[in-house]
A and B are shown apart, each in its own frame.
Chain A
Amino acid sequence: MQSLMTQKNKDLLLRIGKQWAVIFFVAELIFFGLTAKGFFTVNTFQIVLFFGTAIMLMAVGELFVIITGGIDLSVGYVMGLSSIVSTKLIVAFAGSGLPELGAILLGILITLVLGLIPGMINGLLISRLNVPPFIATFSMLGISHGVSELLITEGAAKNLPHMANVIGNGHFLYFAQESGFSFFVRPEVARGVKVFELLPNVVVMTFILVAIFAFVLKRTVFGVHTYAIGGNEDSAVRSGINVKNHIMKIYMLSSFLAASAGVIYMLKYVTGKADAGASLLLDSIAAVVIGGASLSGGSGTVWKAILGAVIIAVLETGLRILGIPTFDKYIMVGVILIFAVLIDQVFPETTYKDKE
């Protein structure tokens, strides 16, 4: 069969193989565009991105870890823990007399700093004590779950200032026929008048974080070292990289992004919940793998991981508009995941080319 294939066909196939995620994405859009009523609207795309924020953030964190050849199982429950911690902190600050916005910002800031701790512990265990990443991060999953539940047995993480809900569900830009463009604040118009709402705040925040970490991975020494460790840890050590420190930073980064996902969850749903991200573990790893990264490390890019996350988010939203129970989503994500890896096996060059 190999001999029947001309060089040209082979190139074409390779190209398709390399871009299959993009092709799948476009096919998905066309399918839902044709079948789901009201799918091709700005609103629907914003919904996709709005609900995809957590998967995107966690996928980027998971990507860094996976590039180094590790895995982080704790992200889902770290996200839950940080949603609870941020809620409790903000409620406490607001209760102590700080203005709402100040309390929210301070609470978020402290949560993000605290969010580094689980990652630091993971990193220490993995890099200094040689605990396999699977075990270290699973222990952390249990510990963050336990701590979360303990925090809420004394009282649910609730009663956030209303402003949190306004920020979490607000948009960056509004446009109404009569009042023109306005930023952050919804123009006062009569009820029922059409207001275009563009760029949800949480999506803007997510994109900023994603862009920063995409830059870090692609253009900085930190990124180069990350790929180097994943490619071959021994030679990374020989070339003078402080691998232990680097690994620790990577897990802190992943935990930080999970914590930001928790903060965004808190803003969107004004509650903290222990299992806020429990079901997102499969999604985030799937997004990274669909984006072409290999679990043995050394390959993957942020943009492709985001594409993987968007593919899953579109699938979910599209199925919902069609009214198909999301049970099917699990099946399809599972199938796509396996498909992604199989394609990787059939077109092995794809991963190498992406490393450049």
Chain B
Amino acid sequence: MKGNLNLIIEESRTLKAIARNWAFCFLIFFIVIFSFTGKGFLSIVNFQNIIHLSVIAIFMAAAETFVIITGGIDLSVGFVMGLSSVTAGKIIQILFAAGNLSVGAILLTGSVIALVVSLIPGLISGIMIARFKVPPFIATLGMWGITNGIALKICKGFPVASLPDELTKIGNGYTIYYKEGSGISWFSLPAGIANDQIREYLRLIPISFILLFIVIFILRHILNNTTFGQHTYAIGGNEDAAIRSGINVQKHLIKIYMLSSFIAGMAGVFNVFQTGIGNFTTFGAMYELFAVAAVVIGGASLLGGKGRLLASVVGVLLIAVLENGLLISGVEPFYRYIAVGLLLILAIVIDQLFPDLF
């Protein structure tokens, strides 16, 4: 049966494209289904919300994509994000309370320091993995514990709050506010709007989209069009061959884990802007595992050498649409854990059935 199916698919280009992009097809399929079952699912506003709330997960999946292509895994991304979030939060809190600086300078300082801090876990795991041949699973699991502990120490187990309001205004702002009759207003609601008029405004293009598109564009460019990207695939495909062809594999791996950690740090900083407080990561969140799941659903192999950035993004969106659609359709919220599990198994089974397509 397997042979037959492969043969049929070999012959048809369309089918081949579908099998290769099954996650994307599933995404479309779910959107159609939920449009019928969920009241208010099919609307620009809802799709904006889904993407806006997936920004962190997309960053995580992007980070994980690089690592997984080299045949590694980074389990620490979730807690690195927490560390970066509380670091940024704490610094902003202290500076804001001191009150000497302008809000813009405070936010910038907090974000930059958090981003720099977030390079450290990646540097350490990278050195351990590249120089000392510690398995990536263990090195990053160790970092998982360490970053979690440090984040909790910084915030003493509480979210870091009492931060400036500008944070959420930026993080949750929209580029365009539109109301029929009164025209477009850029970046904020027109002044003096009464509470009952708020519902009448249509919001378009969250500011977070701009950040998301820039980051994904840059990362995709790095992965697809630079030697850095080529080397990443080369290492994942065959490390020995990569070494023989003169790639400095050790150095490259360290860079990869630093990059992954840095992207997770960016997610953490964004988290502060989105929620207005510095959050530590709870055990129940399991960002790292969902990121790996998204990347695998996007067609990457944990053995390395395979994976596409945009496919990983589709993987994230597939999970997000599924969750959102189930919620809106009024399905018991806990089915989504089961749904994600099944989806993941499906991804692998499809991969097993058509191994040559990718």
Contact = CB atoms under 8 A, between A and B. Distances in A.
A141 B341 contact: yes
Contacts of A149: 333-334, 337
Contacts of A286: 141, 145
A216 interface: no
Nearest to A130: B352
Interface stretch (B18-26, B150-158, B217-225): B150-158
Contact of A295 (B135, B338, B349): B135
Contacts of A327: 149, 152-153, 157
B321 interface: no
Interface stretch (B175-183, B226-234, B247-255, B289-297): B289-297
A341 B134 contact: yes
Contact of A131 (B332, B338, B342, B349): B349
Interface string B332-352: 111111111110110111001
Contacts, number: 140
B201 interface: no
Given A134-B302, A146-B336, A73 B289 contact: yes
B139 interface: yes
B141 A143 contact: no
Contacts of A114: none
Given A140-B341, A153-B334, A341-B135, A279 B283 contact: yes
Interface in A170-201: none
B123 interface: no
A141 to B, nearest CB: 7
Contact of B345 (A131, A141, A296, A338): A131
A289 B137 CA distance: 11
Contact of B344 (A139, A278, A285, A341): A139
Interface stretch (A94-102, A238-246, A328-336): A328-336
A164 to B, nearest CB: 26
A337 interface: yes
A345 interface: yes
Contact of A342 (B132, B283, B332, B348): B132
Contact of A337 (B145, B284, B335, B345): B145
B335 A341 contact: no
Contact of A345 (B73, B134, B348): B134
B135 A146 contact: no
B142 A335 contact: yes
A150 B145 contact: no
Interface in A297-356: 325, 327-335, 337-338, 341-342, 345
B139 A145 contact: no
Contacts of B340: 139, 142
Contacts of B137: 71, 295
Interface of B (DSSP majority class): helix
B138 A139 contact: no
B337 A331 contact: no
Interface string A202-235: 0000000000000000000000000000000000
A85 to B, nearest CB: 15
A54 B50 CA distance: 38
A150 B334 contact: yes
Contact of A142 (B146, B283, B344): B344
Contacts of B235: none
A138 B334 CA distance: 16
A38 interface: no
A247 to B, nearest CB: 16
Interface in A132-173: 132, 134-136, 138-143, 145-147, 149-150, 153
Interface in B136-193: 137-139, 141-146, 148-150, 152-153, 157
A161 to B, nearest CB: 27
Given A129-B352, A331-B146, A331-B149, A147 B338 contact: yes
A282 B289 contact: no
A88 B138 CA distance: 36
Contacts of B212: none
A322 B336 CA distance: 42
A130 B303 CA distance: 13
A275 interface: yes
Interface of A: 71, 73, 125, 129-132, 134-136, 138-143, 145-147, 149-150, 153, 275, 278-279, 282, 285-286, 289, 295-296, 325, 327-335, 337-338, 341-342, 345
9 contacts: A73-B289, A125-B345, A134-B73, A331-B146, A334-B145, A334-B148, A338-B143, A345-B132, A345-B133
Which 6 A-B pairs have CB atoms at the shortest separation, nearest pair first? A334-B145, A146-B337, A331-B149, A330-B149, A142-B341, A149-B334
